[in-house]
Structure 1
Amino acid sequence: MNPKKRIAMRAAKEFKDGMVVNLGFGIPVLSSNYIPEKVNVTLQSENGILNFGGVAKLGEEDCTFCNAAGMPMTELVGCSLFNLDTSFAIIRGGHVDITILGALEVDQHGNIANWALENKDGRYSPGMGGAMDLLVGAKKVIATTVHTTKDGESKILKKCKLPLSAKGVVDLIITELAVIEVTKDGLLLKEIAPEVTLEEVIKKTDADLIISDEIKTME
């Protein structure tokens, strides 16, 4: 299975009935296509949308109805559009139950770096966007990322190397290999993918892992 699809599908299993859920760029927004049956959530986008559906299919998209990343979404009955002031009042006011965000790096202290890569001239780009507000405003933060870089380097670190988006805010990390909970004692490995061994996850993780006594197979 495509790694990003697997991550999105697993992330959607964290949705519970009645939740207000914010989805970040990339992998997170794909989870809107895999909301479990009979689970009703209200999706929120930081550019000012409340109550939308999955990603629009090719040929059915409306270029004027997009999420914060410019990806065309489907409109649901009762959908509401509003300005950025209202959108960030919802976020900063603690009305978002879960935010699912992409990550460049996450570490064993719950720190996350997800907004910038260093350019050749030593500067960082792009900008922070709404991540900072979401990370401190949402009740639960889920970081989604492929487990390693293209060069095979772990993205789950002992300590983040890139500029942080927020400190100590991540509650759960979901990769194509594993589901890891951030606890006060460190990173608790709770699930591993069906075809993956425990040894492989440990080898590909820079951070120290606490191995759960009841490790499950990722659904």
Structure 2
Amino acid sequence: MSRPMKPLGREQMAWRAAQDLPDGGLVNLGLGIPVLAADYLPAGREVIFQSENGVIGVGPLAAPEAADPDLVDAGSRRITLSRGATIVDSAASFAMIRGGHIDVTILGAFEVAENGDLANWDMRLAGKGPLVGGAMDLAVGAKAVWVIMEHNTRSGGSRLLTRCTLPLTAVACVKRVYTDIAVVDVTPEGFVVREILEGMTAEELQARTEAKLAIAPDCRPLRAP
């Protein structure tokens, strides 16, 4: 049995997802690991980042000495604006989301089912942690929904499931999942593995996954800087 390398960290997972963002795309990044993807766009690729609170053209985080408390993203991070950016009200921002104008949204999640069902909030945590927020609108309105999450729970349970056990954010919406040990597409036939952590076997990956996995013929090693 081969010896797996260390699973990807948060920044590495964000880097890997960023490599697939489409040039010229309008992209919304969810809170947590997804927002980190904005820091890792390949050189020469132009992406417009939209924040659901009404910023179209989110730039890098502001330096502490230049931070403006009135210029924040949906996670209250103090940001800058990219060239040509615009600010709209929440109604216009969500009209953009619900109208199908977002090319890709990358969200965090607790669970993803093999048919693409998404569970990225838990009502048991209400008042203590993540709430559904705008994720329902994004999951339904974006042209493509990608997820970044750890492959397993802290107790070792699977997050890629035959059927979600937590309340659903949206049904049959997820197209791709980036985890710390694999890149997995959601297809009409179920989960298809596109990349596996370098040094890990397909059998080892399946042992850590509740849902059945199919390995793509061109499956590659998952690597990140």
TM-score, structure 2 as length reference: 0.89
| Number of the residue aligned with 1:147 | 151
Letter of the aligned partner of 1:155 in structure 2? Answer: R
SS of alignment partner, residue 54 of structure 1: strand
Superposed CA offset, 1:156-198 (max 9, x none): 1111000000000100011010000000001001101224332
Question: Is the aligned partner of 1:161 residue 2:200?
Answer: no
Cα distance, 1:86–1:12 mapped onto 2, change above 3 Å = same
Contact 1:30 / 1:54 at 8 angstroms: preserved in 2? no
State how many pairs are aligned.
217
Q: Which runs of 5+ in 1 are unaligned?
A: none
Instruction: List alignment gaps of at least 5 residues for structure 2.
Output: 1-6
- Corresponding residue number in structure 1 for 2:16: 10
Relative to structure 1, the CA distance from residue 124 to residue 113 in structure 2 (aligned partners, 3 Å threshold; closer, same or farther) is farther
**Residue 48 of structure 2 aligns to which amino acid in structure 1?**
T
Residue 203 to residue 63, structure 1, CA distance change in 2 (3 Å): farther
Runs of 4+ in 1 over 6 A off after TM superposition: 122-125
Secondary structure of the corresponding residue to residue 152 of structure 2:
coil
Query: Alignment partner for residue 66 of structure 1, among 62, 65, 72?
Result: 72
Match of 2:4 in 1: none
Q: Which residue of 2 aligns with 1:183?
A: 187
Change (3 A) 1:105 1:163: same
Q: Which stretch has the larger CA shift, 84-93 or 49-58?
A: 49-58
Kept in 2: contact 1:109–1:168 (CA 8 A): yes
Shift of 1:80: 1.1
TM-score by length of 1: 0.92
1:136 aligns with 2:130: no
Give the SS at the match of 2:21. Answer: coil
Q: For 2:95, which of 89, 92, 101 is the aligned residue?
A: 89
C-alpha RMSD of matched pairs (Å): 2.0
Q: Structure 1 178/21 Cα, relative in aligned 2: closer, same or farther at 3 Å?
A: same
Structure 2 CA distance for partners of 1:127 and 1:183, relative to 1, 3 Å: same
Comparing 40-49 and 205-214, the one that deviates more: 205-214
SS of equivalent residue, structure 1 residue 9: helix
Q: Once the two structures are superposed, what CA deviation does each residue of 1:180-217 show, in whole Å capped at 9, x if it has no partner?
A: 00000010011012243323211111111011122111
- Structure 1 counterpart of 2:106, from 87, 100, 113: 100
Identity of aligned residues (%): 40
SS in 2 for 1:71: coil
Q: Aligned partners of 1:28 and 1:57: how far apart in 2?
A: 20
Could you tell me which residue of structure 1 aligns to residue 174 of structure 2? 170
1:75-112 per-position Cα deviation (integer Å, ceiling 9, x unaligned): 21212111100100111111100000000111111001
* Aligned-pair CA distance for 1:21: 0.3
